[in-house]
Structure 1
Amino acid sequence: MSQHARWRRIAGLGARFLTVGAVSTLIEIVVFNLLYLVLGVDLVASKIIASLVALVNAYLGNREWTFRDRGGHSRAMEITLFVIVNAACTALGALIVWVGVLGASALLGREAGPFAVNLVNLASIVVVVMLRFLLYHYVVFRGVRKPKAAQPEPTRTP
């Protein structure tokens, strides 16, 4: 495969991944704000719960669309790797939000408001999205999926 063709393939994967990620991000932002700002759930708990809700969409979209031709692992191994990668990424996102909100509060000299909290949350999402793409591509959906065995056509009797 030529270098140009490889970059086109990666760009296509990236575009599909970002589309799935955009939908998942919207889900995460809405759930995060609903939990934290409307229902008063703890900041870190809101981040973790919102990430887990968005995770369902992310798995289905990436498995069935973005990386549909990739993944040499069994489905059980793939799901296990997906959960491990996303647990680590969710923890990283929560850590970034926690540290970022503490830092923003220190810089502001008061508790960070909704704008600052969401700015930090979006920054955490950007970092985690880039890491997830790399881990999905090189770990979770690694390799080319084996083609399904061709089913023999049924014999027709006249």
Structure 2
Amino acid sequence: MSERGALRVRLDLLAREVAKFGVVGAVGLVVNIAVSNLLWRYTDIPTVRAGLLATFVAILCNYVGFRYWTYRDRDKSGRTRELTLFLLFSVVGAVIETGVLYAATYGFGWDTPVQSNVFKIVGIGIATMFRFWSYRTWVFRALPVEEAPVEAAPADEDALPGKGVAVNTQDPAQGPAVSVPAPAPAAAVRVDADPARR
């Protein structure tokens, strides 16, 4: 395959991965915003804490989508490690996301429902870029590519026991060089002298 063809295949695979990641992320966004607004409207939980709780509900939904759809073909051997790293990077993403909401709410006093939703979405956008990089690099690792073993041809086949003898043909009409198998070594024959014939 040419270098350009290989690049096109890699870009196609990346585009599919981004699209699947985006679909799962969009579902997570809907869950996140819905839970945030329910908590803001019907509970007395402060804005940032409610947003953080909604983020963790969305993280759980996202894990299911990523593991069983977006990255279902990735390595599944270390589920404990995978889940630990997923939660670790999700917490970092939640800090980024909540940090934007915190700065808007307490730093600038922008805490109307519309402003809270806008900065929640901005925070999610920034955190999503971090999550995409960290999940695909560290959490849902690609399976190693199996390469066909390359057999090195010996320098002098005649020197190896049991190998064929190369016969070179100089005449192009006779075709390429042919390898003729060497004869099998003769089996050792043991003859016991008959004592009666002595």
Matched, 1:139 2:143: no
Give the match for residue 46 of structure 1.
50
Query: Which of these residues, 34, 55, 59, is aligned with residue 55 of structure 1?
Result: 59
Partner of 1:10: 14
Q: Deviations over 1:81-121 (max 9, x none)?
A: 0010001111121111100223542xxxxx53111111111
Structure 2, unaligned runs of 5 or more: 146-198
Amino acid at match of 2:136: H
SS at match of 2:45: coil
Whole-angstrom CA distance in 2 between matches of 1:32 and 1:112:
13
More helix by share: 1
CA distance in 2, matches of 1:77, 1:87: 15
- Name the % identity: 29
1:26 alignment partner in structure 2: 30
Alignment correspondent of 1:126: 125
Q: Which residue of 2 aligns with 1:71?
A: 75
How far apart in 1 are the matches of 2:84 and 2:77? 10
Letter aligned with residue 120 of structure 2: N
SS in 2 for 1:2: helix
| Whole-angstrom CA distance in 2 between matches of 1:134 and 1:48 | 21
**Contact in 2 for aligned 1:71/1:140 (Cα 8 Å):** no
In 2: Cα distance, 1:59 partner to 1:3 partner: 29
Is 2:97 the counterpart of 1:93? yes
Matched-pair contact (CA < 8 Å) for 1:44–1:98: yes
- Structure with higher Rg: it is 2
TM-score normalized with structure 2 length? 0.67
The residue type paired with residue 62 of structure 1 is: F
Q: 2:31 and 2:101 mapped to 1: Cα distance?
A: 17
Q: Is the 8 A contact 1:70 1:145 kept in 2?
A: no
- When normalised by structure 1's length, the TM-score is 0.83
CA distance in structure 2 between the partners assigned to 1:7 and 1:64 by the alignment: 22
Unaligned runs of 5+ in 1: 106-110, 147-158
CA contact (8 A) 2:17 2:70 kept: yes
2:181 corresponding residue in structure 1 = none
Q: Secondary structure at the match of 1:68?
A: coil
